[in-house]
Chains A and B, each alone.
Chain A
């Protein structure tokens, strides 16, 4: 008897198959892959601003599984490593389950009535003695639109203070400033649908692969199918995003503005400018006055590639190459995030990227857009659109505009005099005011400022000294340590509501399970607090989440972000819809300011004559190309602090790790914080991989593990900012953009030594 090769393989295959039987499911895979009896509910991922659709698997009142929503146009069923573990986070041991009041330095469990009575009495006492501006609210781009809406009404409309902020001030404010000054209206003109139509991507100040993985995957797939697609990266650090790059420009942190001017100069000089588009759609300005096109050309003339190279540290020929690639591509999509926004001239950086699109006409057509990526799931929907900042009111309205105040007061049913005309304190000013004792009571919802503020330790004083209420799903956090009262908030899957993502898409999330412990929905916590504070007549009408959403969308009617065609009844059936959506039969808007945008379509014919775009946020419908002077970082490197420190995200963790820190797999993936240092610098300093080092800035010092790696350029270091134990924000600078008030997290001067 002999055994043939074929028989050998057969035996081996049988053995292999046998080894898997029992481990997995058997025929009928699709129906049996998850256990029987699971009910699937449509929802949205709780993490970044991409807005991926997720399906929540519920069985017997428990969340038992999560899978990507294959019907969702954004992620088409795919999930990144964080969304994959959402079901585990719901049942984290660190969930806050009961209200607690700090008594004699220790938290004691109390009833909801006792907690809310205590807060209401304290807030009323502060208001009576020191006035409404002694109170403040600090919210979140992770809160639902309905939650932010109720907070906005309570603080601006009932209590009567505009000291109402949210953490999107720390991440998206410069993008808002950029869009407002360039286009006249906030938020992008295009959507994700441009990705598959773009010939070129300019990724600037964005580690897309780690911060927005599903969009990176879409870019990667698009390039794999279309090898002619080009990708330019402008970033001081090599990141996983580099694996798809055709060209990478490495500027010194904070010195990239000159590159964008030099690119603009080359685009014009070498004939890549769309002169017809410019003539019909563009005005030019510098910081003081309107310019002519010729004057703008004179302005950029000084930014030769060589001069830009000198300022930025990028080779001149790479700048030329980048400009030509941008010019030669028929369509181009720019994407950026915190690398541009978290800068003392973040608004200008945003403007200068948009300039490239306006000069070449690469805007308003499929595959072309200047597209800001958002960091949180509802920074756009809840805070930018919902008006959750100190100068805003719902639906892109402004507190300083008397008409806007009157419109909002009418819908809120509050006296218009309650809404102050003067903006309140922006985030950094708010926490300064806590330090000074000017603000004596603050309500913090769904965010962790004791860790996430720049120069964080400076602001612990105010948190320690003033009356602090924290509504949170997790306990403890760096911020709850300073709280006088903690209120357990319902988490994702335990509440219904709407998230609005980066591409202007509003998506409904169903409540799937009851909240853990005694946790309650933030909007109703605030409603009941309002009632206890004496504002019953303004708040008792809100019985359901739909009541709040319906009132909110009535305020959007007729605005640039019209959502009146997106009631719950419609959103429940859809995988979201992109505004403006003025009626229930409107399909949503792919491109703003052009044909298909209902606002553009409704413009009188004479306004649109001969034009393919009309930027209706500007008086003459023309967008602005800005001649902004280049500015470096607030704290450049020097002999004392010779390294530029940057901070950012890793794929596996998110913000202050209150969620990802509860998932063993994600903790295992990146167990400890580290500082990345270039091998050249490490060698000079005698630092070896895994050495403990001290990173020091003018604000603090941190003992941390060194990772010697060629990701940062020589002269720069990088720390992922997620860990409370290795808190990068005790190092970062709290200088902020004078326009957007967004702090310069992305660069400060540092030094490093072996511990």
Chain B
């Protein structure tokens, strides 16, 4: 019982941590690690996050070669670890979507961030 309570507390705490780690006003202040910026995002991330790059490559964005920077910024001047819907809607204004009719508050509530699969599942 005690063990279960500890796990539950940890989960909730983790949730709160995530919540506080990415509030709106902190989005732009979160810094990308200082790396060799003469490399492109994809070049480096192919090594450090190969699974994410693979997911992206198989997505519509990957097919169009629309790179990491479109959603996440350049990493130096602007960096969005958790990009918002505003960046999506600039290119996808045709998706008329009234969030008041759903519980979703963000494109990525339903679309997986890198595969872009709807409901985050392989359909």
Chain B nearest CB from A6 CB (Å) reads 14
Instruction: Name A668's contact: one of B19, B24, B41 (CB within 8 Å).
Output: B41
CB-CB nearest in chain A for B12: A11
With a CB–CB cut-off of 8 A, which chain A residues contact B67?
81, 652, 669
Task: Enumerate chain B residues within 8 angstroms of A287, measured Cβ to Cβ.
Answer: none
Q: Which residues between 66 and 123 of chain B lie within 8 Å of chain A, taking CB atoms? A: 66-67, 69-70, 73-78, 82, 84-86, 89-94, 96-100, 103, 105-106, 108-109
Instruction: Knowing A24-B85, A28-B100 are in contact, say whether A11-B105 is a contact too (CB < 8 A).
Output: no
* B93 lies within 8 A of A216 (CB): no
Q: Which of B4, B75, B98, B109 contacts A3 (CB 8 A)?
A: B4
Q: Mark B22-52, 1 if CB is under 8 A from A, else 0.
A: 1110010000000001111100000000000
- Say which residue of B5, B75, B91 sits within 8 Å of A1 (CB atoms): B5
Inter-chain contact total with CB atoms closer than 8 Å:
168
Tell me, in angstroms, the Cα distance from A675 to B64 when the chains sit together. Answer: 22
Is the pair A76, B94 in contact by a Cβ cutoff of 8 Å?
yes
Residues from 309 to 363 in A contacting B, C-beta threshold 8 Å: none
Please, how many angstroms separate the alpha-carbon atoms of A220 and B61 in the complex? 12
Chain B interfacial residues counted at CB < 8 A:
55
Measured between beta carbons, the chain B residues less than 8 angstroms from A217 are 64
State A22–B109 Cα separation when bound (angstroms). 14
Whether, in the assembled complex, A129 has its beta carbon less than 8 Å from a beta carbon of chain B, the answer is: no
Cβ contact of B98, chosen from A12, A30, A70, A81, cutoff 8 A = A30
Inter-subunit contact A22/B24 (CB<8 Å): yes
Q: Given the complex of chains A and B, what is the CA–CA distance between A67 and B5 in angstroms?
A: 48
A209 to B91, CA, bound (A): 17
B15 and A67 form a contact (CB under 8 A): no
Indicate whether A78 reaches chain B with its CB closer than 8 angstroms.
yes
Within the complex, the shortest CB–CB distance from A225 to chain B, in Å, comes to 14
Q: Tell me if A84 is interfacial: C-beta within 8 Å of chain B.
A: yes
In the complex, which of the residues B19, B96, B105 contacts A30, with contact meaning CB atoms closer than 8 Å?
Answer: B96
Alpha-carbon gap, A17 to B109, bound state (A):
8
Contacts of B76 in A (CB 8 A): 664, 668
Q: Does A569 sit at the interface, judged by CB under 8 A?
A: no
B38 touches A671 (CB 8 A): yes
State the CA gap A69–B94 with chains docked (Å).
8
Q: Closest residue to A78 on the B side, CB-wise?
A: B91
**Which chain A residues (63-77) contact chain B, with CB distance < 8 Å?**
65-70, 76-77
Q: Which residues of A contact B91 (CB under 8 A)?
A: 67-68, 77-79, 84
Q: Are B74 and A26 in contact (CB under 8 A)?
A: no
Q: How large is the interface on A (under 10, 10 to 19, 20 to 34, 35 or more residues)?
A: 35 or more
Interface centre among A12, A21, A22 (most CB of B within 10 A): A22
- Enumerate chain A residues within 8 angstroms of B97, measured Cβ to Cβ: 29-30
List, in ascending order, chain B residues with CB within 8 A of A17's CB: 103, 105, 109
Q: Are B18 and A664 in contact (CB under 8 A)?
A: no
Q: Mark A11-28, 1 if CB is under 8 A from B, else 0.
A: 110111111111111111
Q: Is A34 an interface residue (CB 8 A)?
A: yes
Q: Are A34 and B89 in contact (CB under 8 A)?
A: yes
When the two chains form their complex, are residues B15 and A664 in contact, meaning their CB atoms are under 8 A apart? no
A186→B81 CA distance, assembly (Å): 49
Question: Does A651 make an interface contact (CB < 8 A)?
Answer: yes
Complex interface: chain A residues within 8 A of B109 (CB): 17, 20
CB pair A68–B92 under 8 Å, yes or no, is yes
Is the CB of A2 closer than 8 A to any CB of chain B? yes
Q: Which of B86, B99, B106 contacts A28 (CB 8 A)?
A: B99
Which residues on A sit within 8 Å (CB–CB) of B92? 68, 77-78
CA of A329 to CA of B21, assembled, Å: 56
Q: Are B21 and A24 in contact (CB under 8 A)?
A: no
State the Cβ distance, B81 to closest chain A Cβ, in Å: 10
CB distance from B31 to the nearest CB of A (A): 14
B-chain residues with CB within 8 Å of residue A193 when the two chains form the complex = none
Smallest CB separation, A667 vs chain B (Å): 7
- The chain A residue with its CB closest to the CB of B73 is A665
Distance of A390 from chain B, by nearest CB (Å): 38
CB pair B66–A81 under 8 Å, yes or no, is: yes
Could you list 27 A-B pairs, sorted by A, with CB under 8 Å?
A1-B5, A8-B11, A17-B103, A18-B15, A19-B19, A21-B19, A22-B23, A23-B23, A26-B105, A27-B100, A29-B98, A29-B99, A33-B86, A67-B90, A67-B91, A68-B90, A68-B92, A79-B90, A84-B90, A84-B91, A217-B64, A220-B64, A664-B78, A665-B74, A666-B69, A668-B37, A668-B75
Q: Given A65-B90, A84-B70, A216-B64, list of 14 further CB < 8 A pairs?
A: A25-B86, A25-B99, A29-B100, A30-B99, A33-B89, A70-B93, A77-B91, A77-B93, A78-B92, A79-B90, A80-B66, A81-B66, A664-B74, A671-B37
Per CB-CB distance, the 6 closest pairs between chain A and chain B, nearest first, are A15-B15, A29-B99, A19-B18, A665-B69, A77-B94, A664-B74
